[in-house]
Every structure is written in C-alpha cells, then in structure tokens.
C-alpha cells in the first residue's frame, strides 16, 4: 500500500476518535477568533445565508460554512447511506405518523430558533466559540444545554420504553 492510499484511508475511510474531532473544532474556533477576529456559529451563518434573499451584505465564508455542514455529512456517508424516513425513537413516540413527526420536528425547529436567539447564539456558537473565548454566559448556557439534553433524553427514553 502506498503512502497516499494510507493517508486517504486514515483521513476519510476510517472513523476518527471523537476527541480528535473535538480538538479540531476547538482549534478551528480559536484560530478563527485569534487570527481573523471572527466567530464560528451556525445561527450567524444562517442569518447571513438568509440575507442573500434580502440583498443585504453578508459574509460569504459563513454561507460556505452552512452549506458545508450538510454537504460534509453527505460526503461522509458515500457508499453507506440509504434514504429513509425513520427517525429513531421519535417514530415510536408519534406511533409512526408522518404528520405527527413533521409537526414535532417543525415545532422543535421553531423552539430551537427561538432559544438560539434568546441565548445570543446557538449551541455551537455558545458552546464552541463562547466557551473558547471564556464567556461566562456561554459557559452557563452550555451547562443549561447539557442539563436539558440529559433531562429530555431521559424523559423520551422512559416514555418510549
């Protein structure tokens, strides 16, 4: 096996340890803040992407960031992905109804958007960027996100079981 094939396998074909991804995201956020004076976050990128419609000024790098998130997911699953409408435990919770599931996901999206604006940024913005910059409110928000995630997961797990 030649060197380039080995590099390809290590970078793209094999699964990385979660800590490597965490360190990579953290270093990217810090480098973006230190060297470019910019913040990494999905909500800000989404706002910039929506600003294209209103013809106001936008940061093109954030738009590429937002487009890269689903594109990266699709590229990561090449050869192993198949289309499905199943959604894990949510299907059991809504008794397999596509309309209940769509309503649940739509309402969840609204609540997430409201919470992101109320908290001054989404979970990625607060937890990655805010904590990296030492923001006390971002640390508090991140602890609240984690606590809410643990509580809701336990409620849903108990409701389905």
- DSSP assignment, residue 121? S
pLDDT band at 159 (very low <50, low <70, confident <90, very high): low
In a domain, 142, yes or no: yes
- Residue-wise over 92-106: b if at least 16 C-beta within 10 A, else e? ebbeeeeeebeeeee
Residues 55 and 106 in one domain: no
Whether 45 and 107 map to the same domain: the answer is: no
Ranges 1-5, 37-41, 79-83, 137-141: which has the least confidence: 79-83
Q: Is 51 within the bounds of a domain?
A: yes
- 146 and 118, same domain (yes or no): yes
Q: Could you tell me if 95 and 143 lie in one domain?
A: yes
Residue 35 in domain: no
**In a shared domain, residues 55 and 99:** no
Is pTM beyond 0.75? Reply is no
Considering the domain boundaries, does residue 20 fall inside one? no
Residue 4 lies in a domain: no
Number of domains in the chain: 2
* Structural domain harbouring 57: 41-71
> Is residue 131 predicted with pLDDT exceeding 60?
yes
The pLDDT score that the predictor gives to residue 151 is 92
Ramachandran angles phi, psi of 123, nearest 5°: -60, -40
């Amino acid at each position: 096996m030649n060197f380039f094939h080995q590099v390809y396998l290590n970078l793209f074909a094999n699964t990385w340890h979660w800590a490597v991804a965490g360190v990579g995201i953290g270093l990217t956020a810090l480098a973006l803040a230190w060297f470019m004076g910019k913040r990494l976050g999905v909500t800000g990128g989404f706002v910039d992407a929506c600003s294209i419609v209103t013809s106001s000024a936008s940061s093109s790098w954030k738009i590429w960031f937002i487009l890269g998130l689903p594109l990266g997911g699709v590229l990561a699953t090449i050869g192993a992905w198949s289309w499905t409408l199943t959604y894990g435990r949510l299907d059991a919770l809504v008794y397999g109804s596509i309309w209940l599931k769509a309503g649940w996901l739509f309402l969840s999206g609204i609540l997430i958007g409201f919470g992101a604006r109320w908290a001054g940024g989404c979970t990625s913005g607060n937890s990655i960027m805010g904590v990296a910059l030492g923001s006390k409110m971002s640390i508090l928000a991140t602890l609240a996100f984690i606590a809410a995630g643990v509580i809701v997961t336990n409620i849903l797990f108990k409701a389905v079981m």
